[in-house]
Every structure is written in structure tokens, then in C-alpha cells.
Structure 1
Amino acid sequence: MYCFSLGFANFVAIGNLGAKELAATSLSYMVSGVFALAPALGFASAMDTFCSSAFTASADKTLVGLHFQRGVVAVILHMIPVSIIFLNMEWLMLLLGQDAEIAALCGQYMRICLPGVLPWALYECTKRYLQAQGIMRASTIVIMVVAPIHWLNSYLLILSPTMGLGYIGAPLNLTITFWLMFLGIWAYAMLSQKARAAWGGWTWQCLRGLGAFYHLAIPAVVTTCGEWWAFESLSLLASFFGASQLAAQAIIINIVSLSGQIPNAMGFTSTPRIGNLLGAGHARQARISSHVITVMTIVVGMATTLSFIVWRQWWGQVYSSDPDVVRTVVELMPVAGIFLTCNGLNQVFAAILRGLGRQKLGAYIIVPSFNLIGLPLGIYLAYGPMQMEVVGLWWGTCVGTVISALAQLFAIVYWTDWDHEVERCLRRLIESGPSSSSAVFVLPSETDSRDSTPSGGSSVYRGYGAVSA
């Protein structure tokens, strides 16, 4: 919630500058999400799978640090094409036929944001490294310290009569904030005795296992990008309806992103939890955890949807004083509420699949649901005979979200053998481990693993045989 309040503060400040500034910011968020943030989150989600299961499955805790290093290498390599795209964004926007003034503002925004993208990606990697060890509060503490600084800077750098820089203050504020987030969580990781126990120092072994890492990371990137790209395509499509419609679209995306942080947080915590349980051999507890998180997400989603409908007028007035923008926001709030509930379930189910190491299955479900069903339907409703414009785009996306959530639920309930997932988890760790290690993993023997019980967190259980990597 604190994390997405960063975008909320920026949007509120920029909304007071004008519709074109808000529209350019929306496009900038879309581009950064499509080409930088979504792929980086995909790489980080592969770390979720490897780090969480390695922490409980191996006696050598430094394997967690090894998988963390692979994630860091992956995101650094990814920043090379990202830099090229960000530096040429104005030209790309003009090539797509975008308004010249909005394209110039967008290009300016991206150039200033570029120095902060890598620190943000490294923050996400470090956060997952800590969460895999059960250290959940680190990112919360960092954000609780950094967020007030960001809120203050939103006024000082954007709106202040004396210090304000206007529009360029927004990307500068984000860049400063991303650096503070990274430095804060890295300092926590270095100062925490528990976190240091999983850090064995930088090693060339992280390069030797990149193949196994990318085997999960690439489907994870496809999964994350498939949903994100379809979602962000709404902004690009909405831009052709005029500045007011695009501004309303930007506001709705920001509201949904902010409100969706509760189910999103549930998903982020469920991935390492399930990974830890599978690594420890607790198949039944992992299954129960997936059921509990699903019920909690439904309850939270329904409550949020109701609040969207009741206070839809207030939300529009918070973000903008333009009557056309406020009117469109009010019209979009009910469908946005329905979308939020369905997407919350979608996020949680995807997180469960990440914990299982089933990123490829998630890609097979999410990409077609959003890009082959939801997005085309939204385009038809927006531009077709019904001429629903932005509202039609959202209804189509909502349908795609429902289909994706139902398909993932079916896969988790009917296609998942939780006892077999324990075996898959341990085999995956052995295949991705270093060429020589004292780590000991466990594999199911011929006996029934359902009756196996942990021995005080040790890596050898009844019914299991020890295997050295």
C-alpha cells in the first residue's frame, strides 16, 4: 500500500498541472511498466521460487544468496535494452502518431526516470531474498521511512512556489525515491544477522546456473508481461479518445493499483510461504495455505468493490478538478471495482503457481486470457457499434481477468498433486545448484512421502533419502 502511494502522490500533484501533463505521465508509466518494471518483476518472481524452497530444503543457507545473485545478474542484463528504449521514447511516441506535446513530455519523463529503474529492480530482488528467509518486515520498514519523504518531495519538487520544478519534478522525485528504497533495503540486508547467514559472498557459480534460472524466469517474465502489457494497452488505446479520457484512464489505473495492494501483498507473501513449505516437505500445509489466502482475497475484494461504488464521486474529485475527467472517472468506478476483485484472485492464484514453480502454466493461461480474449473484446466494445470508449476497454479486460482466474483456480484444484510438488521442488533445486556444494537436499524415496514428517527443520525426513548436490 505504501509503495503504490508513491504513484498516488505523484498523480495527485501532476493532476493539478493540467490534463496533458497527467496524460503524458500515464503514458510514461505505461512504457516503464511494459519494458522495465514488468520484466524485472518476472525475473524477481523466479527468485521467489528458488530462494524460498532453497531456504528450507537445504542445510547450506548460502544457496539462497546464490539464487539471489542470479536474479541480480538477470535484471542488470535486462537494463541494457531498457536504457535504449527510454532514451529514445519521444521519437517512438511520435512514430506511433502521438500528440507532439505529449510525446515531448513523455520523453522528458523517461530520461529523468532512467537512473532510478535499476535501483528499483535491485530493491525488488533484495526484497525477495529477504522474504524467502521469512524476513517480511524489511521492505515495510523501508517504505514506511521513504514514503513520507516522497510525499513531501511531491509538493516541494512539483507544486512548491519556491522550489517546485513543475512537471519534471515528478520523475526526479521517483528517481530519488527508488534510490532511497534500494539503499535502505540493502543496508537492512547487510546489517541483519539472519539475512547475512544466507549470504556466501559473490561467486562465479551464479553464472553457471543461469540456464536453470532462466528456465523459470522466462515463463515468469511472459506471465507478468502478458498481463501488464494488456493492462497498460488500455492507456495507449484510451489516448486516442482525447486527453480527458486518457486522464480518467490514468486515474482509474492508479486507484486500482493502490487499492489492489492488499490482495497483491497477499500474493507476494503466499509465494515464499508455499515455497518454504514445499522445501520443508509440508505438502498438506502448503495446500491449506493456498485455500486460506483464496478466501481472504475474496472477502477483501468484495469490500473494496463496495467502497468503489459508494464513494465513486469522491475519488474523481481527489485526483482532478476537470469536470469531464471527474465524470468519466465516476462512470468507470463500478467496473473498476469488479475488475479489482477478479484481478485480486488472479494475482493470488498466479502467486500460488509461482510458489509451485509452475510459471510456464501461468504463462499458458494468462497471456491468452488477456491478450486473445480480454483485449480484443475491449477494443470491440470501445470502437465497435456500441461505442463504449474507455468503459468498453475496461469491460473487456474484466472478462479476460475472470477467465484467467477461473483457469488458474481449476489448475490449482484439479491439476496439482501437492505431494508430487515437493519432489519437483527438490529436484529443481538439485538441478540448479552449484557444481560442487556441501548442501544436502531431500528426495522422495520409494516409501510414501505423505507420511513424512520434518525433523526439527533438518533436511532429512522419514520416508526421504538425502541427496548431495
Structure 2
Amino acid sequence: MTVCLACVAVVFAYSKSLLVAMGQDPDLSALAAMYLQYSFFGMAIYSGFDAYRKYLLAQGIVYGSMCILVAAVPVNAVVQYTFVFILDLGLKGAPIGMALTYIVMLISLVVYSRVWCAAKMQQSWGGWSWKCLDDWKDYMRQASFNVMTYLCETAAGEAAVLAIAYHNVNGGNTAIGAQSVLARTFMASRMLGNGLSSAAATRVGHALGRGSPIDARETWIQGCWLSLLSSQPLTLLLLCTRSSFGYVFTKDEQVVQLVARTLPILAILMIFPTINGHCYGTLRGLGRQVISAIASFVSYYVIGVPIGLILIFSVHVSLSSVVSMWLGLGIASFLYAAIQMLFLCMVDWKAECRRAKRQLLENNKD
């Protein structure tokens, strides 16, 4: 993590020059660079918080970090308003306020774990030793698959923005505005999938570790039903409010109308972020991240995004660029879910449990 942060620090330090070299406005590049540079400290603090949160999550300690994250939302709103408007720090006040919030979150989590979870912490942590650096090859391999999966999904959305902007280079503000609204909505829907992913990875991993393949399989099945049910309210909300949903983000009538035409597609897609998140978490609990990495790459960059680009630039298709791209992303998201589900349906849970026990024995010998 430190090495990654060091690389990010170098990029942020020269971000103005990089943005100008990419053809961006110098004044806008200077403001963006200032924001990035002030954001770095908060990013470093949050990285520590997230690593510590995952360490507690692996032990089944969930409620402390959940309460801290929930409490941080209103606190951050007050801090942001204070730094940006009351102290009149403007653009740089936002990352400074965010960094302060992250510091409070990290301190709160450490205090919580040391006071209320001291006994469990003593059992799981015997102090630092050079053995912490063992098996880094396997660790980095699994981490690289996780990074690849995340980048495939995230970069697909950015590719959609670039394609729409390029297609509407002359007067394309309406399409870009609608895409921003839809992308933000879709990203927000992924938060539920992220929560299911973390829960599934922890519960499946624990079940396999204690030699209970039935519990691991039941966790996956019940999570699938929960994913299906939890996505329905959002789907209905988007369908019922599609004609006025865009007004939450903008007053531009053309943007609102384009959002309304595309929302039915997005509403149908709401099921997939939760299913994909849950299946991805289950595969992480199995130690099979490579399946998700391959599935996401094939679904998005071999099939989904190319279909979207063909629909955008084809002279025989009368769909708008936004609708075309979301059709492609929808196909990709469906295929990603289908591939993961198909693999998990074929998993031999007893064999996976034996594999987990074998790995535990090998680690104990080391």
C-alpha cells in the first residue's frame, strides 16, 4: 500500500503538467492539481482506515466500523460546510475537511477495537515479525486479480463517457450531462453490491475455514436471493420516477428527457450490481478471484463495450449515444453475472473445503 501511495504521490505532484500535456485548459488544470495534491493526505489516512477495517472484518468484527462509517456522513457534511464556506477555503477546503474526517474515523476505529474487542485482537495478532513478509507472491497474485476486476468495471464507465463525448463533440453537452446522471446513479447502486461482496467473502471464508461446506454454499444461495430482493425497490423507484428523476441533478430539460428515455434500461440493470457483488465476494471467499477477473474482462472489453461502440457509431442505428452505450454496458453486466453464477453452480463445495484446510495446514507448518 505504501508503494502504491508513493506512485500516486508522484502522479499528483506533476498532475498539472500531465493535464496540460493532455490538452486541458491550464487554469482548470491548476485547480484540479491543487485539489488532487490536497486530497493525497486524506487518501493516505483512508487507506490505513480501510486496511484496519478489513483486518477487523476478517475476524467478524463488523458493527464498530459500520457505526463509524454511518456517523461519519453527517460529521463530514458539517466539516465540509465549515471549511468550504465558513472558513472560506473554497476548493481546497473540501479535501482538507475530508482528511480531518478520515483522521477521526481512523482514531475512532482504533479506540473501538482496543477497548471493546481487546480479547479477540490478542488472539489474532501476536505482534509483528518477518513472517508477515512470507507468501507475498500468492498475496500479490490474488490482489492483482482484485485490482483487475475493479478496473474492468470502473474503466468501462469512463470509456463510455469518452465515447459519448467523442461522438457528440459538437454540442454534446446534453448527452454528457445525461451520462453523468446515469453513471452516478449506477455507481450508487453498486454500494449495496459492495456490502454484499464484503459479507459474502467473510462468511464463505469463515465457513470453509471451520470445515463447513454446507454453510458456505447456503451463504451463497441466501445471498443470491437477498441480492434479487434488495434490488427490486430501486428498480421500481427508477421506473416510477423516470420522467422527473433527472431534476434531482439538473434543471436542463433536454438532459432530463434523455435521462427519462434511458432510465428503463438502467432500472432493469439494477439487479446486476448486487448479484455481481455477491458472486464476486463469494469467489473471493473461495480464493477464486481469477474467475471474476477473467469474467469481467471478457464481459466488458470483449463483448459489452465493443457492442456499445458499434451501436454509437453505426449509421444504421438511430438510437442516441447514451442509450446505445448503456445497452452495451447492460449486456456486459448480464454476462458478468451469468459467468460467475455458472461457475459457482458447478463448484464442488466439499473439495473447496478440503483445499482450504490444506492451505491452513501448510501455513501452520510454515
TM-score by length of 1: 0.70
Give, in whole Å, the separation in 2 of the partners of 1:237 and 1:314.
26
Q: Tell me: CA distance 1:234–1:105, structure 2 relative to 1, closer, same or farther (3 Å).
A: farther
The alignment status of 1:171 with 2:114, answered yes or no, reads: no
**Deviation of the 1:401 alpha carbon:** 0.7
Measured against aligned partners, the alpha-carbon deviations of 1:431-452 in whole angstroms (never above 9, x if no partner) come to 4x3xxxxx5xxxxxxxxxxxxx
Partner of 2:328: 396
Q: Which structure dedicates a bigger proportion of its chain to helix?
A: 2
Looking at structure 1, the residues matched to 98 and 50 of structure 2 have their Cα atoms a distance apart, in angstroms, of 15
Which residue type is aligned with residue 205 of structure 2? G
Identify which range, 100-109 or 178-187, moves more after superposition. 100-109
Q: CA RMSD in A?
A: 2.4
| Among 108, 113, 119, the residue aligned to 1:184 | 108
Match 1:377 to one of 293, 297, 307: 307
Q: Give the whole-Å Cα distance in 2 for the aligned partners of 1:153 and 1:406.
A: 43
Decide whether the 8 Å contact of 1:155 with 1:164 is kept in 2.
Answer: no
Equivalent residue, structure 2, for 1:132: 58
User: Does structure 2 retain, via aligned residues, the 8 Å contact 1:343–1:402?
Assistant: no
Higher RCO structure (Cα 8 Å, ≥6 apart): 1
Query: Which deviates the most, 133-142 or 244-253?
Result: 244-253
Instruction: Check whether the contact 1:190–1:196 (CA below 8 A) recurs between aligned residues.
Output: no
Q: State the partner residue of 2:223.
A: 293
Q: How far off is 1:99 after superposition?
A: 5.1
Counterparts of 1:353-372 in structure 2 under 5 Å?
A: 353-372=283-302
Asked if structure 1 preserves the Cα contact closer than 8 Å seen for 2:42 and 2:95, the reply is no
User: Counterpart of 2:129?
Assistant: 203
Change (3 A) 1:110 1:326: farther
Q: Which runs of 5+ in 1 are unaligned?
A: 1-74, 434-438, 440-467
Give, in angstroms, the shift of residue 277 of structure 1: 0.1
What amino acid maps onto 2:337 in structure 1? A
Q: Tell me, in whole angstroms, the C-alpha distance in 2 between the residues paired with 1:92 and 1:348.
A: 38
| Post-superposition offset of 1:102 | 4.7
Structure 1 residues 86 and 377, CA, compared in 2 at 3 Å: closer, same or farther?
Answer: farther
Residue 280 (structure 1) aligned to one of 199, 210, 218: 210
Identity %: 26
Give the whole-Å Cα distance in 2 for the aligned partners of 1:169 and 1:238: 32
Amino acid of the residue matched to residue 2 of structure 2?
I
Relative to structure 1, the CA distance from residue 122 to residue 296 in structure 2 (aligned partners, 3 Å threshold; closer, same or farther) is same
Q: Supply the distance in 1 between the matched residues of 2:158 and 2:19 (Cα, whole angstroms).
A: 15
Equivalent in 342, 353, 358 of residue 427 of structure 1 = 358
Letter in 2 for 1:403: L
Query: What is the Cα deviation at residue 297 of structure 1?
Result: 0.5
Q: Would you say the 8 A contact 2:196–2:274 is kept in 1?
A: no
Task: Report the equivalent of 1:81.
Answer: 7
CA distance in 2, matches of 1:234, 1:103: 22
For the residues of structure 1 that align with 2:184 and 2:266, how far apart are their CA atoms? Answer: 11
Take 1:251 and 1:176, find their aligned partners in 2: how far apart are those partners? 29
State whether residues 193 and 276 of structure 2, in contact with CA within 8 Å, keep that contact through their aligned partners in structure 1: no
Aligned equivalents of 1:424 and 1:92: distance in 2?
47
Question: How many correspondences in the alignment?
Answer: 358
CA gap of 1:196–1:331, structure 2 versus 1, over 3 A, is farther
